[in-house]
């Protein structure tokens, strides 16, 4: 084995990062790439800037596992704001409609129960999905709205933790490809008052937990050896994926 291969393997693995609000997923990747001078860095599952929580960052040869890691289930905690619809389906977007929230907590729980299991979900216009080779969010910036094909998703569980109308705090365990902000918007429409996602935090992805992650402030304070000590090495990561023991 040559020195270059050894170096590549020593830099290869998975780093669990707690992404802060107002950072893009690419901001996190660029921070790690620049600070530790690792050529190949990627992430497994985008988090919008307003969202916080677990971002899986793969380094070196582990970047080849990003697609596999991206396809696994995720868990989020969030807050839905009823009575206000936005263009982006979250609090970052322009308000498009408002309505009185003339519903009961029982209505919320009834509708939440309807949004579990195998569902079809239409992706939002402000997303990275491509239509005829163009990303939807770029078309949206131009004021163009196109028809989107509904996609199959699975909501394994949707637990309502608190109802303080017009806000609802929830926890959702969902499949790859689920847009939680669209889930909030769809539930709001079903309730007859509209809604959007106010806050979102990812607490689990592919079996890995946010409690085991590091912060951006920690990353900025580390030398490379400290980062490598916190990283799950490629060999161990492969074993965990084969055994299905990511969460252990």
Q: Hey, which residues are catalytic here?
A: 48
- From the list 151, 149, 172, the residue with the least C-alpha distance to 161 is 172
Sequence-distant (≥ 6) Cβ neighbours of residue 17 within 8 angstroms? 28, 32, 54, 55, 56, 57, 213, 214, 215, 216, 219
Q: What is the dihedral of CA 12, 51, 145, 185, to 10 degrees?
A: 130
Q: Name the one residue in this structure whose structure tokens are 């028809």.
A: 147
- From the list 63, 19, 4, the residue with the least C-alpha distance to 203 is 19
Rounded to an integer, what distance in angstroms lies between the CA atom of residue 10 and that of residue 55? 21
**Contact status, residue 60 vs residue 9, Cβ threshold 8 Å:** yes
**Contact status, residue 232 vs residue 13, Cβ threshold 8 Å:** yes
Q: Which residues on neighbouring strands pair with residue 76, listed in sequence order? A: 172, 202
CA distances (Å), 211 to each of 18, 27, 159, 235, in order?
A: 9, 21, 20, 22
Rounded to an integer, what distance in angstroms lies between the CA atom of residue 193 and that of residue 78? 19
**Contact status, residue 245 vs residue 24, Cβ threshold 8 Å:** no
């Amino acid at each position: 084995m040559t020195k270059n291969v050894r170096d590549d393997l020593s830099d290869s693995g998975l780093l669990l990062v707690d992404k802060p609000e107002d950072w893009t997923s690419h901001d996190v990747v660029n921070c790690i790439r620049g600070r530790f001078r690792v050529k190949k860095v990627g992430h497994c599952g985008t988090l919008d800037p307003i969202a916080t929580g677990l971002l899986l960052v793969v380094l070196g040869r582990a970047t080849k596992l990003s697609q596999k890691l991206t396809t696994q289930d995720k868990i989020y905690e969030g807050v839905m704001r009823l009575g206000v619809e936005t263009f982006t389906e979250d609090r970052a977007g322009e308000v498009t409609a408002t309505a009185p929230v003339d519903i009961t907590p029982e209505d919320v729980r009834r509708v939440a129960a309807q949004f579990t299991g195998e569902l079809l979900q239409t992706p939002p216009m402000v997303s990275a999905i491509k239509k005829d080779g163009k990303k939807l969010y770029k078309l949206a910036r131009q004021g163009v709205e196109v028809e989107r094909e509904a996609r199959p998703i699975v909501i394994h569980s949707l637990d309502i933790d608190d109802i303080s109308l017009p806000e609802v705090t929830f926890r959702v365990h969902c499949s790859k490809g689920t847009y939680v902000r669209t889930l909030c918007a769809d539930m709001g429409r079903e309730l007859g008052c509209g809604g959007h996602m106010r806050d979102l935090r990812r607490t689990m992805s592919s079996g890995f937990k946010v409690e085991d992650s590091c912060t951006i402030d920690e990353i900025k304070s580390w030398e490379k050896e400290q980062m490598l000590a916190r990283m799950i090495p490629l060999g161990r990561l492969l074993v965990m994926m084969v055994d299905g023991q990511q969460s252990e």
